[in-house]
Amino acid sequence: MKSSWSSNDVTGAARHNGSGRDLTFVTITFREELELLRLQARSMAAFLPPDMVGEILVVVNDRDEAALGDAVEAMRAEYGALSGRLRVIPATRLFRWNVGPRGPLARLRRVQALHPRLALRSPGTAWRGHGGWKIQQVCKLAIWREVSTPWTVLLDSKIHFMAPVPRSEFFAPDGRPRMICKDLSDARMDWLAPSFAQFGLPPDAAGPRVADGIMPLPVATALLRDVTEAVEAKSGPLQVLFAVHRKGETEAMLITAHCIARHGSLEAVFDTARPLPPVIMRSHDAAWVDAALDAVEQGAVSLALHRAAVARLTQAQRTRLAGLWRDRGLVGDAGDLARIFSVRDGDVPAAEHAA
């Protein structure tokens, strides 16, 4: 798909200009998250202003892309007035192979990516049996190849909207996109250091705050292109890097490093003061979950519910969450709730606990 934005669209002070239908919403999904994706689709229909949305792209990150793509297409009507803006994309369409270094080692890594057993990797749910969490990060960076708007909003299936979505959810008053960040002291250095090394930076080049990795993340589409092209020029195809010889890089830390290397700081590109929205992960205790539900009751725009956390909700929390969904028209009969609450935990890698 030919993109309509140019190489001049991202600078050290990228700003949103307030124009309509300039956002492409991108969700990466796989088969065990279909019911959460359905919830997200209904929330988009209910709460996303149509004049904000250029396209909705759902990237199927699964061993069987065709079957999952058909399943996503079958829920097109759930997007309501936005259904005509939905496009379903196989993850492999985003891959490029003829990029980066050449030579025997590069060829070996490409072969290992195509045949995971040669890389001695545990079987996963994504492309050719690689880990879904790793390939998801490839998709979030490489999706620029399919986006035709100047801005991209990266999501996960676990995120759904719980109230009308204003532009201020994604952009600060000065036009910078709003990134959910954490203090450097709370960052995982095993992710930060290798990501910074991709841009020739030492870990101490980091500023006081770095990307958290929690979605939603609004970002200039051209920035995703710049990060992808820089990393692929150095380390080869993204899918090979993340599937075979990843040292700890993450898409959020690579974006952080790029902003520092190219623009001097993360703050030159992003508003880093955005507070953490309600998020319920596998590792969160009952008090955290209750606080997240409190925030939704008090008007929070979105909620992130990780599939691995669903089975750990107490009955009281399920009842409370079901009431919130019903109040917002996101669920119908008891069957809706049964399907959501039966989402499989699965074998969630340790890295995914914080994703």
pLDDT tens per residue across span 187-239: 999 999 999 999 999 999 999 999 999 999 999 999 999 999 999 999 999 99
Place of tokens 């689709």: 41
Distance CA 282, CA 113 (A): 29
What proportion of the chain, given as a percentage, has pLDDT over 70?
91
- 344 pLDDT above the threshold of 70: no
- What are 144's two structure tokens? 């620029």
Beta pairing class for 151-156 and 23-29: parallel
Beta bridge partners of 60: 29, 90
Distance CA 258, CA 195 (A): 9
Distance CA 166, CA 256 (A): 25
pLDDT recorded at residue 9: 52
User: DSSP string spanning 225-264?
Assistant: HHHHHHHHHHH--HHHIIIII-SS--HHHHHHHHHHHHHS
* Beta carbons of 133 and 349 less than 8 angstroms apart: yes
- What are 235's two structure tokens? 């380390």
**Can you tell me the mean pLDDT for 34-38?**
96
- For 335, counting Cβ atoms within 10 Å of its Cβ (0-12 exposed, 13-18 middle, 19+ buried), the class is exposed
